[in-house]
Every structure is written in structure tokens, then in C-alpha cells.
Amino acid sequence: MGCRETSIRGHAQNPSDIERAILAAPAPIKGVIHLAMQLRDASVLDMTYAQWVEVLAPKVDGAWNLHRALGNETLDFFVLTSSLSTVYYQPGQSNYNAANTFMEAFCQYRHTLGLPASVLKVAPIEGVGFVPENGEARRKLKAQGHWFLDERALLEFLELGIWNSFPVGLERDDDGSGGA
């Protein structure tokens, strides 16, 4: 695929950070991988508005801001991440589930516009990220019998998300670009 990355400190929920990243890109941007995650667990009855917004903003605002900022670009892929927690109940994560459900719906929205998008429902990842760094979360998930991905499987799934970003009927052309 031949790509280069440029690291820019910022947040996708901040449009000016996205604009700064776009301007700093050494070449045209051809794809997005949006991996935002924020947790602030609380029961629905005890959850504050601030906890709700803090969890939704990185995913929801981030995806929307990336979509708007790159609206005039011809992207090859736009990969979003969701979580398997939208399939099975995780107590205290209604805000996180709402953010992930948005990602799934947003993928469909981009498809209705003829734009690339894919969404991956990611399981906890063994040895990388939040779960291995949080012993209590890891113990709870293991005790509940949850399946864990390894890093290699995650990268393989990301590759599938990249190559399968176009809706049926708008598959890639032979040169890898989107086509009609």
C-alpha cells in the first residue's frame, strides 16, 4: 500500500487539531484509521452528563470532524473502531456503548454518500492497550469468559477494514482506488 505516517499531538474531537494535522501531512491523505477510546464507567442512574460527553466526544465528534475535514479528499479507506461490548452487556458502559453504536451507524451513513467506511468491533487485546494496563478490567473480562485478540489479529482485521471500506457496488478499481 506504501504509506507514511506523521504524528501530530492533538485530539480528533478538536477540529483545529485535525486541520493542523492535514496541513502538516507530507502527501495527500488517502485514508483514516480512527481508534478513539475513552471509558468513564458508571450506572445509567449515576452517570453525569460530563461522564457521558467525555466518553462520546472522542469517537463521535472525532469521526464527524474527520469526515468533515476530509470531505473533499478522495480517500481509499475510513476505518472506525467499535467494540464487542455493543453485542454483550458490560455494566456501567452505556456511554461507551452509545459511542460505539454511533460508529456503526456512521459507517452506514458514509456508505449512503458513496464514501468509504468500515467499522471493526474490537475485542479486548492481549498485551496491548487499556485492558492489559488495567488489571481489574482484565480479571473481570477473563472471569466473564471474554475472548481476547492478540496484536497480530488486530492488525489483520485492520487490513481487512482498509481493503473493505467501500459499500457493495462501489468496490475498489484494479488500481486500489474507489470506483463506481
Q: How far is CA 143 from the centre of its chain?
A: 26
The CATH number assigned to the domain holding 104 equals 3.40.50.720
In tens, the pLDDT along 96-152 reads 999 999 999 999 999 999 999 999 998 888 888 787 788 888 888 888 888 788 999
Highest mean pLDDT among 38-42, 107-111, 164-168: 107-111
Q: Is residue 11 part of a domain?
A: no
Q: Is residue 159 part of a domain?
A: yes
| pLDDT of 171 strictly over 70 | no
Highest mean pLDDT among 45-59, 115-129, 161-175: 45-59
- What's the number of domains the chain is made of? 1
Contacts of 139 (CB under 8 A, 6+ apart): none
Q: Is residue 15 part of a domain?
A: no
Q: Which set of grid coordinates corresponds to residue 79?
A: 476505518
| Local structure of residue 171 (DSSP, 8 states) | P
Average pLDDT over residues 161-175: 74
Q: Is residue 40 part of a domain?
A: yes
Contacts of 36 (CB under 8 A, 6+ apart): 12, 58, 59, 62, 63, 81
| pLDDT of 177 strictly over 60 | no
The closest alpha carbon to 122, from 95, 91, 96, 92, belongs to 96
Q: Is residue 137 part of a domain?
A: yes
Mean pLDDT of the chain: 88
pLDDT of 180: 46
Q: Is residue 14 part of a domain?
A: no
- Give the whole-angstrom CA distance, residue 52 versus residue 5: 32
Q: Is residue 126 part of a domain?
A: yes
The closest alpha carbon to 30, from 180, 158, 169, 165, belongs to 165
Domain hosting residue 60, numbered range: 25-163
Q: Is residue 174 part of a domain?
A: no
Burial of 139 (0-12, 13-18, 19+ CB in 10 A): exposed
* E strand residue ranges, the chain: 31-34, 77-83, 118-122
- Residue pair 78/65 in contact (Cβ under 8 Å)? The answer is no
User: Which SS3 state, helix, strand or coil, does residue 36 take?
Assistant: coil
